[in-house]
Amino acid sequence: METVRILLVDDHALFRSGISSLLQRHPEFNVVGEATDGLEGLKLATSLQPDMILLDLHMPGISGLEVLKMIKEKLPAACVIMLTVSEDAEDLLAAIRAGANGYLLKNIAMEAFLDGLNRVRQGEAVVSPQLMGKLMNGIQGAVHTEPVERESLSAREREVLALLAGGASNKELARQLDVAESTIKIHIQHILRKLNLSSRVQAAVYAIEHGYVKRPD
């Protein structure tokens, strides 16, 4: 796999230094820039065109959520992972709906952090496991609409969409459905295209909101 070029956007210098030092020990990752606030992060994202952006949610001045929205508007294909201390369900939902490819807590274990980055680089999307329950609960109070599909989902695609809401990886999905992992990737690509979504986490939210999976009691 090619080296992943990463931009760090966080107002805490010590935290940026720690993440940068960690990633330098892994040749598959290359930190190409660091920004101390949202506006600088947006400028560097535009100029450097990194493969992945690690973005803090709460920063002085413009918030990480607003930066995320602007990055997705200017660079729709950009891969953005929110790296934050916030366990608030509203923050999580807002980030996912704005197109975040992942939402990881800053107290995450090093191994889980690196695994999350690797999963994202392979086309998945990640949310810290302890937040999945909050994600589903946070959706319960949302306004629900009928599915708006550009094309009808097949029975298998509906099945995959329902399982995505549980946070399963491609490998786990392939094992559950007894198919090749490459087949799962194709199904997910079709789902995202048909529903006009940008990430599997957005697909999981969509699945819960539109009744593809049973809501938690």
Position 82, amino acid: M
Does residue 143 carry a pLDDT above 50? Answer: no
Tell me the mean pLDDT in the region 134-152.
Answer: 54
Asked if 38 and 57 count as a contact pair (C-beta separation under 8 A), the reply is no
Chain segment 15-43, per-residue pLDDT in tens:
999 999 999 999 999 999 999 999 999 99
| pLDDT at residue 47 in the model | 95
Confidence at residue 208, expressed as pLDDT on a 0 to 100 scale: 75
Per-residue pLDDT at 20: 95
Highest mean pLDDT of the ranges 89-93, 113-117, 138-142, 160-164: 113-117
Q: Which residues of 72-108 are buried (b: 16+ CB within 10 A; e: fewer)?
A: beebeebbbbbbbebeebebbbbbbebbbbbbbbbeb
d(CA 183, CA 179) in angstroms, rounded, equals 7
Cβ proximity of 54 and 30 under 8 Å: no
| pLDDT above 80: residue 10 | yes
Residues 6+ apart with CB under 8 A from 114: 22, 26
pLDDT of residue 132: 63
**What pTM value is reported for the model?**
0.75
> What are the DSSP E strand ranges found in the chain?
4-9, 29-35, 52-55, 79-84, 102-105, 126-127
Range with top average pLDDT, 45-59, 167-181, 182-196:
45-59
**Which two structure tokens, joined as six digits, stand for 185?**
């990737």
CATH of 143-209, one of 3.40.30.10, 3.30.70.100, 1.10.10.10, 1.25.50.10: 1.10.10.10
* Span of 120-129, 143-152, 181-190 with lowest mean pLDDT: 143-152
Using the predicted structure, report yes or no on whether residue 80 has a pLDDT greater than 50: yes
- Which amino acid is it at 160? V
Fold of 4-137: Rossmann fold (3.40.50)
Q: Which residue has the higher pLDDT, 26 or 2?
A: 26
Do 131 and 105 meet the contact criterion of CB atoms below 8 Å apart? yes
Q: Enumerate the domain spans of the chain.
A: 4-137, 143-209
pLDDT of residue 203: 84
